[in-house]
Structure 1
C-alpha cells in the first residue's frame, strides 16, 4: 500500500510540475505541436522535474546513510557540517580556480565534504549514545563554525552573493545541460540500495558488524564517500535543501522499520515527493514569482523536526 500511494503521488506531482510556470505549456499546445511549448517542455520543465526527483531521492538516502553511520536518528548532511564543507570547497574553486569546469568544482566540493564528514565522525566518536540529542547539537555547532568560515572568506572576496545562492536550494535555474551531474547522484542512490544489507549491519555498531563478518571500517568509508559525493553534487547543482534527509527517513521508519532493503525505495520515493511538493508550492504561492523549495521545506521540516524531538522526549519520559 505505501508503495502504491508513493507511485501515484510521484506521477501526479510530476505531471503538475510539467505544466506549472510562467511559460505557457499546456496539453493543448503540445498536441497542436506548438514549437515554443515543446521547447519549453524539453529545455526547462522536463529537466527541472527530473532534477527535483533525483535531488529529493538522493539527499534522503544520504540522510539514511548518515543516521546509520552515526547511529542517531537526528542527523543528516545539513546538520553535520557536510554541506557547509562542500560550500568551502566551492569557495576555494571560485577564488583560486574560477576557470575550472563544473566537474572540477564538484570534485573539490566532494573532497572538502569528505574531510568535513570524517572530522564530524571523529567529533562524535566519544559522545554518549544514551543522549541522542547531543550528536545533532554538536553537528549544528560544527556546521555553524564551518558556515562562519565560509561566510568570512566570501565576505573578504566579495562572493557573498554566490554563497547565498548555494545556501538556498532552488530549481529555477535548472535547464537542459545544467543538471546532468545529478544523474551521478542517482547512480549513487542505486548503489546504496545494492549495499543496503551491509549498511543495515553497519547501523548495529562496530562490534556487532565484525561479529557478523562485515568489514566495518571499509563499509563506513564507502558510506562516507557516498554521502560526500552525493551531497556535493546537490550543492553544486541546486544548493542546500535542509531537513529533508532527516524528516523523510524518520517518517518512513515509523511504519516500515529499520530494514533498509525494504524501506530505502520508500525513503527515496517520498523524498522526491516532498521535494516536488515544496517546489510546486514555491511556484504557486507568489505566482509569477518563486519561493525556493529549500525555503518552503526548511520551514515545514523544522516544524516536523521539533515534533520528532519533543515527541521522542514525551515517549521516553
Structure 2
C-alpha cells in the first residue's frame, strides 16, 4: 500500500472514531459505521479490527461503558438505572453484567469505590486506538497571552500517575462540599512532572480550583496556592483532552525552539473549559499554557 493510500485509510478510520464520539446515543452498528467509512461492511469490519486491534462492536461498547463509568465515579446526580439507560441498556441487570465483565466491579461498587487499575486495563483498547490519530498543530494555533495571577485551592497528587483518578474524585467531592463546583470556579491542572521520564513514586500534579477564599483546615489536604501572572503560549485542545501529551510535545519540541521564546520557571498547566461526560468527548475543550520568560526592555 502506498503512503497516500495508507493516509486515505487512516482518514476514513479517523472519521469513524470521530463519528462514534459524536453519536454514542445513536445507532453505531456495523452498517451505519461502514457507511461513514465508505467501505463495505465486511471490508470495514476487517480493516477496523486490523487497524485498532479490537472489533467495532467491542470498541463501541467500551466507549459507552467508559462514559457510564465517568458518570458513576464523578457525577453524583444520576442513578445507576439512569446511567444504564444512557449507555443504551434497556435493563439495569444487562448493564451490570456488561460493566462487571469489562471492569471487574459492579456499577454500584464502582460508584462507591472505583478500582482504577482494572478500569485502565479495560479501557486500553480505546486509548490505543486514539494514539493512532494523527492530530497535528501548526504555529498558527499558538497564541501568546498575559495570564493573570490566579489564587487557587490545590489538591496535590503524588505517586503513580495511574492512580490520579482517585485524587480527581476526592477533589471533586471536596469542591462540592466547599461550594466551588465547576460552574463557579475555573478548573486548572499544574503538571510538575513528565510521566515519561519521572519514576512513578516521584510523579506530581496539582488539581486546582480558582478561589481567593481562605482554605479551611480539611482532611483532604487541600491548601491555598497561586498560579503566577506571566506571559504564556496557549494551545487549545479540543476533544480527548485527557491525553495532553501530544499537545505538550508540540509546544516544547516543535513550537518553542523556533519561536524565539524561552520557557519560564513555572510548570506547564492547563485550564479545563468543558468536560467529558458533561459534553460529548469530541467537544471537551482544554487550554494548555506554557509559561514563558518575560521580555526585558532594551
Fold-level match, TM-score > 0.5?
no
Computing the radius of gyration from Cα coordinates, the structure with the larger value is 2
Please, what TM-score do these two structures have when normalized by structure 1? Answer: 0.26
Give the number of the structure whose residues are more often strand, by fraction. 2
Give the number of the structure whose residues are more often helix, by fraction. 1
**More RCO (CA 8 Å, sep 6+):** 1
